[in-house]
Chain A
Amino acid sequence: MNAITIDHLRKTYGAFVALDDLTLSIPQGSVFGLLGPNGAGKTTTFKCMLGLVRPDGGTTRFSDQTFSPAVLDRIAYVPERSVLYEGMSVAEHIEMQRRAYSKFDADRARELVKGFGIPDLRRKTGKLSKGMRTAVAVALAFSRSAEVLVLDEPTSGLDPVNQRTVLNLIVNEAASGNTVVFSSHQVGHVERAAERIAIMKDGRLALEGMVDDLKADRKIVEGIMPDDSATVAALNGNPHVRRVERNGRILRAFVSGDAAAIAEAMSAGGAAGVRVVDLDLEDIFFDAVAPASSTADLVEA
């Protein structure tokens, strides 16, 4: 069953298309990572999902319900920018949330805040660093006993120890059967904690899948050709070859599945030193968001 079903979401700001026909399903009990360059539409996606921004078209369903204030009680949201009241202390925020949400666990909130290294709950949140404000917002969200957590950049500004704490909180929620959707510019965090990802580019879905499946599927097959102009005819029109890059005598085929067969075809086609290169999620990310020639252009420019 899907915890969240996003169906054909579209949002424009004037002439700018922030979301262009976005359709996504997020299974219950999963950790879903949303990746994309700045301006790709990640935050707009979250805001449309949660009814904070009205989409031009499309719907979001939580389990089998459309969005409503009642649904909101089951969802905890940490926005990209802190929404804490700067003049209020950490303890006052905890008390406010306790009154607002029936399932809020104030003891857990105090424990989590202290775990993040904020010993004095009387501190006004305006006096905390940006990272510590993020930590407070995360601690409040993880004390809501929510079924769905939506976290926009939850590790932003945190030190490595607290980043790891947030990732473990996410892992713990998933192990308890709850659903977590989070965005991050730290691809390595998504690679660890998420089992499924979507990569957005220009308001559209560029790539979606299970992290492990994408890694198993996507490879680069690299070989050295006898001269700068020699090609391997077998690569043309092969459905597993997504594109071929050439750098002097080095030929690199970006393939989906069947890497061994393509390596054989390259060897048979005259390539020397043929090897299959594994891709990490960052490689897959760059491949998904950058057009084929752009990296080389940037380097030359």
Chain B
Amino acid sequence: MPIVLSVDARSGVPIYLQLIEQIKRSVALGVLRPAERLPTVKQLALDLTINPNTVARCYRDLERDGVIETSPGRGSFVRGDGAEASVKAAAGDVAQSALESAIREAMSLGLSRAETTSLIHGILDRWYPEKS
């Protein structure tokens, strides 16, 4: 498997959510390709020294979200159809919550709507430069 998963057990973010995020990111970036096989629950649990039921919970959620499919006896695979689309939708959720906390921070620091908007435009111009 070409992706290297890692967890920070001491993080306040639940381990299964850390794994879901990393696997989705790997699919979105094409590091994990459609039909590629994921490690077994036991293997990943031993590789990371984490609880196997936590890994199983991560795989169940990824299956529910349409990112992977599991067939008994064969293992878990990245879905050939729709995995990227469902990952993209999930990426929208992640980005929205990050933006929300940034905007909440700006508001609580006393910035006006206009000031915050101009900040956002400045940042957008830097990361998504308009082609002239």
**A188 lies within 8 A of chain B by Cβ:** yes
A1-52: which have CB < 8 Å to B?
A: 29-31
**B28 lies within 8 A of chain A by Cβ:** no
Question: Is A212 a contact of B46 with CB atoms below 8 Å?
Answer: no
Q: From known contacts A171-B45, A274-B104, infer whether A193 and B10 are also in contact, taking CB-CB under 8 Å.
A: no
**A249 lies within 8 A of chain B by Cβ:** no
Please indicate the chain B residues that have their CB under 8 angstroms from the CB of A73 in the complex.
none
Q: From known contacts A171-B45, A271-B108, infer whether A278 and B13 are also in contact, taking CB-CB under 8 Å.
A: yes
**A223 lies within 8 A of chain B by Cβ:** yes
Question: Is B12 a contact of A172 with CB atoms below 8 Å?
Answer: no
Please indicate the chain B residues that have their CB under 8 angstroms from the CB of A213 in the complex.
14
Please indicate the chain B residues that have their CB under 8 angstroms from the CB of A263 in the complex.
104
Question: Is A171 a contact of B109 with CB atoms below 8 Å?
Answer: no
Q: How far is the CA of A228 from the CA of B3 in the complex (A)?
A: 50
Please indicate the chain A residues that have their CB under 8 angstroms from the CB of B107 in the complex.
267
- Chain A count of residues within 8 A CB distance of the other chain: 40
**A71 lies within 8 A of chain B by Cβ:** no
From A30, A175, A278, A283, B45 is in contact (CB under 8 Å) with: A175
Please indicate the chain A residues that have their CB under 8 angstroms from the CB of B16 in the complex.
212
A273-289: which have CB < 8 Å to B?
A: 273-283
**B57 lies within 8 A of chain A by Cβ:** yes
Please indicate the chain B residues that have their CB under 8 angstroms from the CB of A216 in the complex.
14, 17
The chain B residue sitting closest to A224, CB to CB, is B108
Q: How far is the CA of A176 from the CA of B107 in the complex (A)?
A: 51
Question: Is B12 a contact of A283 with CB atoms below 8 Å?
Answer: yes
From B10, B17, B41, A280 is in contact (CB under 8 Å) with: B10
A93: min CB distance to chain B, Å: 27
Q: From known contacts A274-B104, A274-B108, infer whether A212 and B52 are also in contact, taking CB-CB under 8 Å.
A: no
From A164, A273, A279, B105 is in contact (CB under 8 Å) with: A273
Please indicate the chain A residues that have their CB under 8 angstroms from the CB of B41 in the complex.
175
Q: How far is the CA of A194 from the CA of B54 in the complex (A)?
A: 9
Would you list the 7 A-B pairs with minimal beta carbon distance, nearest first?
A: A278-B12, A212-B14, A175-B42, A175-B52, A195-B51, A192-B9, A195-B53
- Chain A residues within CB distance 8 Å of chain B: 29-31, 164, 167-168, 171-172, 174-176, 188, 191-195, 211-213, 215-216, 219, 223, 263-264, 267, 271-283
Given A175-B52, A277-B12, 19 new contacts (CB under 8 A): A31-B51, A164-B49, A171-B46, A171-B52, A174-B51, A174-B52, A175-B41, A175-B42, A191-B10, A192-B15, A193-B49, A212-B15, A212-B57, A263-B104, A264-B104, A272-B108, A274-B108, A278-B11, A283-B12
